[in-house]
Amino acid sequence: MYRVVKELQRKEPKKKILVDSGHGITTNEKIQTEIVKKFFRDQFHNEKEEMIKEVKPMKMQRAFTSTDIEKAVKRLKTGKSARIEELNSELIKYGPQTICEGIAEIYNIMAETGEPQQKSKKEY
């Protein structure tokens, strides 16, 4: 008996409608999908915008300092697993001051040359 009452009280879910200024109202899922795709394509893909220009390497007006690196390092989350580099944030965060100095030096060299550095000039 409960099963019969439950079936009688069950309501069909309402079809979701989507309003499009060009087409009006639709309940067709395929058309809805196309409307949503078009909306986001128009929002995020503007053909009139120029591509981001490539920045040529040059010496920075204000070079990175170890203090800049320390501020950024303090904001790192701890307890996260290492990525491919196998370098945990804890190693930098709780390491000696010379680590931040080395990172600052590497960043400054990279900004000037445009090439990623494997090692700094000094061995720390």
19-33, 43-57, 99-113 — most confident range: 99-113
Mean pLDDT of 40-68: 81
Domain chopping of the chain, boundaries? 2-44, 54-124
Contact 35, 20 (CB under 8 A): yes
pTM of the model: 0.52
Q: Is the dihedral of CA 18, 24, 28, 31 positive or negative?
A: negative
**Which residues are paired to 26 by β-bridges?**
18
- Residues 118-124, mean pLDDT to the nearest whole number: 58
**Inter-residue contact 113 to 124 (CB < 8 Å):** no
Tokens of residue 115, six digits: 């090439």
In this predicted model, which residue has the larger pLDDT, 118 or 97?
Answer: 97
Average pLDDT over residues 91-119: 86
In this prediction, residue 118 carries a pLDDT of 63
For position 104, what pLDDT does the model report?
92
Long-range contacts of 89-98 (CB under 8 A, 24+ apart): 97/66, 98/124
- Work out the average pLDDT over 101-120: 84
92 sits in the region (left: phi over 0; alpha: psi -120 to 50; else beta) called alpha
